[in-house]
Copies of this chain bind each other. A is one copy, B any other.
């Protein structure tokens, strides 16, 4: 039985990854999960310098999911290189570093700093964070801006890049095509959908930032649809995420066209979710007599 998938030349032992920002740098969940079993660890978004993020409350629970407006708090790329990457290097898993920035130059600075890090197998470029005022999502909601920044980043990277797309757009196909045209090696989606919660007794926003990104099972149907649309619009591989809680969910994304899948908010519900998904995929393959996981990628048209 083969569960390995290859995305932009990088081979993952299985398609199951962690979604950026929901698994810290891997360290926090290593108490629960043997990181060696994961297809990849995708780290929290990192910028050129430390970012303080947004005021609290930063998270709020909603029906079947949560809102977050962390605002990309991160210790900066230097700390990542000195502390997090050495930790991750000891595990037999792939490492994808999620990169954020406020300007094109910010992104370029980070990817350049990471370009000689052998322990970094791929870079995921977050141009879709709805929770920071400048930069970020501005690139992720306009195909021309996405094209430009992708092209610029590509000039400065050694590792293959994954442009991470925002679902807060009219046409996800158009965004996927812009990323592909500019040379992105893969795309990942979806980032969170912008949402809001109001506390009707305190008459305030549940999130200090007013809006937050919606994630969790509530968004899965939207994510599956966008993965389907995006993977039909481009030839580069797609990594799918959005509400994955079970192996069935992961398989749904793969049938829709995803070559890899990531578990996000559901890590908070159950820290063993990634492992359960991996084991469940293997069971499904056995039951369904599927010898190679690659057979199911995009199999439902």
Contacts and interface: CB of A to CB of B under 8 A. Distances in A.
A224 B206 CA distance: 12
Interface in A185-239: 193-198, 200-201, 203-205, 210-212, 214, 217-222, 224-225, 228
For chain A, the bracket of interface size reads 35 or more
**Most chain B CB inside 10 Å of its own CB: which residue of A197, A217, A219:** A219
A92 B209 CA distance: 43
B195 A248 contact: no
A217 B63 contact: yes
How many copies of this protein are present in the complex? 2
A299 interface: yes
Interface centre among A141, A205, A299 (most CB of B within 10 A): A205
Interface string A79-107: 00000000000000000000000000000
Contacts of A171: 141
A67 interface: yes
Interface stretch (A118-126, A147-155, A250-258): A250-258
A212 B141 CA distance: 23
Max chain B Cβ within 10 angstroms of own Cβ: one of A200, A203, A220: A200
